[in-house]
Amino acid sequence: MLLIDIDHSLLIDEKTMKTLSVPTLLVERIGQEKRFMTMRTHLRLKRLVEKNYLIPFTCRSFDEFRHLELFQIDAKPKWAILESGTLLLKEGKPDKRYTNWLRQQQQTASLDTTLSYLEEVEQIAWSVYPAEVWGPRMKQSYQPIEQTTDEAGMLDEVFRQSQAETDA
């Protein structure tokens, strides 16, 4: 499962977007601020979400996350981790089973407990992107993916690996 920090990857500001020679797509608008993604990255990301092989992570609140059209319209993930790990969404809504699990485990919501819960209910192993951001956060074992300028290519490789695991 690819855990991707959307605050430190994928999204491009308008100034950077204007320097690119590839097609881009507007994926977020907050006031005058716009965020974009390359069309190629968007298509790869959408494919991984459809296969339930990607979990977006962000420090954004629930309301801020809803501004990201990408994850509200185009590619609705089964799971999303918000507020730096303290809010877990399932199918776009706070996961009540997770809240009950926390109470039973006598734990508080954190990135660590969220990942432990997901490991338990989904039986997954983690790949993380960008690895440079995840190192200090992760207690679980994971496959690091170094930051790259070709994020669409990275998503292609993750998709190929997920297909190989499915076929095995």
Which domains can be identified in the chain, with CATH numbers? 2-162 (3.40.50)
Report pLDDT for 40.
Answer: 94
Cβ atoms < 10 Å from Cβ of 150: 12
Place of tokens 């977007």: 17
Determine the average pLDDT of the residues in 109-127.
91
pTM across the whole model: 0.89
More confident call, 82 vs 139: 82
Report pLDDT for 166.
Answer: 72
Report pLDDT for 67.
Answer: 86
Amino acid identity of residue 13, one-letter, is D
Determine the average pLDDT of the residues in 91-103.
94
**Which residues lie below 8 Å from residue 163, measured CB to CB, with a gap of 6+?**
none
Whole-angstrom CA distances from 50 to 31, 54, 78, 124 are: 30, 9, 9, 17
- Indicate if the pLDDT at residue 122 is higher than 80: yes
- Indicate if the pLDDT at residue 168 is higher than 90: no
Report pLDDT for 90.
Answer: 96
- Indicate if the pLDDT at residue 135 is higher than 80: no
Determine the average pLDDT of the residues in 103-118.
93
